[in-house]
């Protein structure tokens, strides 16, 4: 539905999850270890479903999780995430509402339920959108209340406050009030949030300062460098943006986000279109995961680059 904010739901083009960590490789290793520990304690069917989900094979993941939905809360969470990945946000809310009814203290469940309601707000008819948006906010707030260290929920709540109008519970003052909580979780993410707030206030020099500070706090993070590049591109400073894109490529030449964001920047600036097409073709040949922009976004950009 046109005209409604995205509420920071990271739906179609998520920011690189490398933000605020000392190293891409360290983060991947930690995530892999955590996932292995979790999956070792789950039924074989759920391990299979999670593996399919990580390959963005969402429909197959949902089918694999189906037999476990009545007795396993993790299966309900996975089903909700898979339906969300498929773009079936109504079904996603159904699964996730069942999860939080069964386990009201599940911060991750409330966070994903907030995301699903947020997407329903973005895609629904105007009369239904405010109700869904309010439910998104309420679930983000509940997720943070249940676990103040849930950084992803904090970030989505911050984005909601930043983008939503006051009558839907948004506002820059509310976003600013979250900054200390974000700082407690992640110093680099705090600088990024400061940048977003200053950009919303049209103080672009301060926004740029905070983005560069975030990159300095995480010098090996491709995502932080890309944040600066995208900011410069948004504000018409294409040549400077290309320099930062080059810095990201030096850190990780074949990182999928580097390929995608570089191509997107070229296309939006109507520059280097042959190079943009080549980067997108290379991106589409990579094994993607749910943290990366979906294939549909890359294909859409390819059409724009003709």
Mean pLDDT, range 160-182, rounded to an integer? 97
| Contact assessment for residue 195 and residue 20, using Cβ atoms and an 8 Å cutoff | no
Task: Kindly report the pTM of this predicted structure.
Answer: 0.85
The CA-to-CA distance between both ends of the chain, in Å, stands at 27
Q: Which helix (H) or strand (E) holds 74?
A: helix 73-86
| Contact assessment for residue 215 and residue 227, using Cβ atoms and an 8 Å cutoff | yes
Instruction: Give residues with Cβ within 8 angstroms of 97, minimum separation 6.
Output: 113
Helix (H, G, I), strand (E, B) or coil at 12: coil
Beta-strand ranges (E) seen in the chain are none
What percent of the chain is predicted at pLDDT more than 90? 85
Please tell me the predicted confidence (pLDDT) of residue 17: 42
Please tell me the predicted confidence (pLDDT) of residue 45: 87
Superfamily of domain 221-306: Tetratricopeptide repeat domain (1.25.40.10)
Please tell me the predicted confidence (pLDDT) of residue 24: 41
Mean pLDDT, range 49-56, rounded to an integer? 96
Which is nearest to 111 in space by CA: 146, 82, 76?
A: 146
| Contact assessment for residue 114 and residue 108, using Cβ atoms and an 8 Å cutoff | no
Q: Which helix (H) or strand (E) holds 98?
A: helix 89-102
Mean pLDDT, range 69-92, rounded to an integer? 96
Instruction: Give residues with Cβ within 8 angstroms of 114, minimum separation 6.
Output: 135, 136, 137, 138, 139, 140, 142, 143, 153, 156, 157
| Contact assessment for residue 265 and residue 279, using Cβ atoms and an 8 Å cutoff | no
Please tell me the predicted confidence (pLDDT) of residue 43: 77
Whole-angstrom distance, CA of residue 125 vs CA of residue 134: 15
245-284 pLDDT, tens digit each: 999 999 999 999 999 999 999 999 999 999 999 999 999 9
Whole-angstrom distance, CA of residue 1 vs CA of residue 118: 12
Whole-angstrom distance, CA of residue 154 vs CA of residue 160: 10
């Amino acid at each position: 539905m046109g005209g409604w904010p995205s509420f920071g739901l990271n739906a179609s083009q998520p920011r690189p999850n490398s933000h605020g960590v000392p190293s891409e490789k360290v983060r991947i290793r930690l995530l892999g270890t955590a996932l292995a520990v979790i999956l070792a304690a789950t039924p074989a069917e759920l391990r299979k479903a999670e593996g399919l989900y990580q390959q963005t094979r969402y429909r197959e993941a949902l089918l694999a999780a189906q037999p476990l939905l009545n007795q396993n809360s993790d299966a309900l969470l996975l089903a909700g995430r898979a339906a969300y990945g498929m773009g079936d946000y109504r079904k996603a809310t159904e699964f996730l509402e069942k999860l939080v009814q069964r386990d009201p203290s599940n911060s991750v469940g409330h966070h994903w339920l907030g995301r699903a309601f947020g997407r329903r707000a973005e895609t629904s008819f105007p009369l239904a959108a405010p109700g869904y948006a309010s439910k998104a906010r309420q679930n983000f707030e509940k997720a943070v209340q249940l676990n103040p260290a849930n950084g992803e929920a904090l970030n989505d709540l911050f984005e909601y406050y930043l983008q939503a109008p006051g009558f839907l519970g948004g506002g820059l003052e509310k976003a600013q009030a979250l900054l200390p909580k974000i700082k407690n979780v992640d110093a680099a993410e705090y600088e990024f949030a400061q940048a977003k707030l200053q950009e919303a206030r049209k103080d672009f020099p301060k926004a740029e300062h905070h983005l560069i500070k975030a990159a300095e706090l995480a010098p090996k993070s491709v995502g932080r460098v890309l944040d600066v590049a995208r900011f410069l591109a948004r504000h018409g400073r294409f040549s400077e943006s290309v320099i930062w894109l080059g810095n990201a490529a030096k850190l990780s030449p074949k990182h999928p986000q580097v390929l995608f964001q570089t191509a997107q920047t070229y296309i939006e600036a109507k520059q280097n279109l042959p190079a943009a097409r080549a980067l997108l073709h290379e991106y589409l040949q990579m094994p993607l995961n749910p943290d990366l922009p979906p294939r549909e976004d890359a294909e859409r950009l390819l059409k724009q680059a003709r």
